Structure formats: structure tokens, C-alpha cells
Structure 1
Amino acid sequence: MALRAFVESDYPQLIDWINTPELNYLWGGPAYNYPLTSMQIHKHCLQESVLPFIFEYQSEPIGFVELYKVSTSEYRICRVLIADKFRGQGLAQQMMQLIISKAFADYQANRLTLNVFAHNTSALLCYTKLGFNLVSTEMGTREFKGKLWELFKMEKRRHNHV
């Protein structure tokens, strides 16, 4: 298992994984339109604060995760995704452990934050197990097909790193 830099040759794989409008919004929020395109990904990844990674398992790319530099001491974990056929095997938790370690060790983060939709129960369970705490709830700012999606904001500080 390893994280490696997400590069342009990975774009088709990510586009293949994001195969429904709902998954696109669940994964990318308002930052991406469906269908996902190489141009959208390229434009997003050009931002200096965006640090995207591919998660490999047995040398096969099976996931994506992104760090977003909020400040020198705070990073947000964004766009967490495990490919369909690898879900339910605890691999998201392992990918998250790698990105948490990378943020604290390589980027000297003191605080990690993330946003997760309230109905994404498997992600919520994963993040809670990893020591993320709910810090606030946002309602009325995210909408998909006429339904408002409640957004949880969570954080993990360096001192409670596992």
C-alpha cells in the first residue's frame, strides 16, 4: 500500500471511477461538474494549494485523496475515493492513515480538517475511527437534485494523531 503523486496519466482512471452525477457531487462537491473531464481535473490540480494523490494497493491504483493547504499549519483532506470494487474492505481507512501521516510528517500540519456529507455514513464512521471530531454542521449550502445535503465539518489535531 502506498500513496503516490496523482499525475496526468491518472486522469482517465479517476474519470472512470466517477461514473454518476451523485458520486461526482459526493466526491467533488461544487468544484466539479458531471461528467468529469481531464480539463476540469487539470485546472483544479494546477492550484498551488492542491496536493492530489493516488492510493495503490498491490501496485494497482484503487483510490484518490487530496490535501488542500489552508495555511502552513492546516491542511484539509478532500475528495476521498476508493474504487467501487475495493469498497467495504477497510482500504479507505488505510488510505486515510497514510494521508494523515503524510500531512503531519511531510507537511508539518498541526490541524487536519475535512468536510463530509451527513448521509455518507461509511465515511463518517471511518473518519471517527481515525480520531476526527465533529466541529460544526452546515445546512442549506449544498444541494443535489433539489435536496439539501447536510455537511459535517470535522478536524483532527496533531496531538491526537494515532
Structure 2
Amino acid sequence: MALRAFNTQDYSLLIHWIDAEKLNYQWGGPSFNFPLDVTQIDEHYNQANVFPFIYVVQGTEAGFVELFKVSDTHFRICRVFVSEHFRGQGIAKLMLANLITLTKQSYRAELLSLAVFNTNTTAKRCYESLGFVETALEKGERSWDGQVWDLITMEMRC
């Protein structure tokens, strides 16, 4: 199990995974329109402060995660996704643990942050189990199909 750099050959995989409008919004927030396409992916991942990764389990692509450089010592974890075939196996926690280690060692991060919708209790528990703590709650910032989704900000000191 390992993280590897996301590259242009992976675009079709990500498009295949993010296959519904609601999922696209949950995964990408307002940064991506549905359907996800090569142009959007290319524009986003060609930014100098964005570091995307694929998580590989026994030779198979199992997940995706993005690291965003906020400053030289602060990085934000974004767009966490686990393939349907690997859900319920603790892959997200393993992938994120690998990313945390990489971020500390390779990028010398002192602070990691992330945001999670309050409705995504499974993800929130996963982040808490890795040492993230809630630092803010943005009420009414996002909505989907008439439902308001509050956004929880979480942080971890490295």
C-alpha cells in the first residue's frame, strides 16, 4: 500500500469514480462542475500549490487524496476519495496516515487542516482517530437539494 503521484493517465480513473452530481459536490465542493472532465482536472492539478495522489493497494488504485499548500508549514488535505470496491476496509485511514507521514517528512509541515461536511460522520470519525480536532463550524455555507450542509474545519499539529 502506497501513495503515488497522480498523473494525466489517472484522469479517466478519477472521472470514472466521480460519476454522480451529488458525489461530485461532496468530493470537490464548488471547485468542480459535474460531469468532471479532463479540462477541469488539468486546470486544477496544474496549480503549483496542489499535490494530488493515488493510493495503491496490491497493485490496484484504491483511492485519491489531494494536498494543498497553504503556506510553507501549513498544508490542507482535500478531496479524499476511496473507490467503492475498497470502502469499509479502513483504506481511508491508511491512505491518510501515509499522507500525514509524507507531509511531515517531505514537506516539513507543522500544521495540517481539512474540512468535512457535518453530514459525513464516518469521515469525521476517521479524521478524529488520526488526531484531528474540530476548530470551527461554518453553518449554512453549503447546500444540496434543499439540505444545508454545515462545514467542519479540523486541524492537527505535526
Q: State the 4+ residue runs in structure 1 displaced beyond 2 angstroms.
A: none
SS at 2:3 equivalent: strand
Offset of residue 136 of structure 1: 0.4
SS at 1:61 equivalent: strand
SS at 1:140 equivalent: strand
Question: Residue 28 of structure 2 corresponds to which residue in structure 1?
Answer: 28
Provide the rounded CA distance (Å) in 2 between the counterparts of 1:105 and 1:97.
Answer: 12
- AA of the residue aligned to 1:72: D
Offset of residue 146 of structure 1: 2.7
Question: Residue 120 of structure 2 corresponds to which residue in structure 1?
Answer: 120
Alignment RMSD (CA, Å):
0.7
- AA of the residue aligned to 2:71: S
Gaps of 5+ in 2: none
SS at 1:119 equivalent: coil
Provide the rounded CA distance (Å) in 2 between the counterparts of 1:34 and 1:145.
Answer: 15
Question: Residue 108 of structure 1 corresponds to which residue in structure 2?
Answer: 108
Q: Identity over the aligned pairs, expressed in percent?
A: 47
**Aligned positions, number:** 158
- AA of the residue aligned to 1:137: L
More strand by share: 2
Question: Residue 153 of structure 2 corresponds to which residue in structure 1?
Answer: 153
- AA of the residue aligned to 2:35: P
Provide the rounded CA distance (Å) in 1 between the counterparts of 2:92 and 2:25.
Answer: 18
Gaps of 5+ in 1: none
Q: What TM-score, normalized to structure 2?
A: 0.98
The one-character-per-residue Cα deviations of 1:71-121 (angstroms, maximum 9, x if unpaired) are 000000000000011100001000000000011110000000000000101
Provide the rounded CA distance (Å) in 2 between the counterparts of 1:147 and 1:42.
Answer: 31
The one-character-per-residue Cα deviations of 1:30-60 (angstroms, maximum 9, x if unpaired) are 1101110011000000111100000000011
SS at 1:30 equivalent: helix
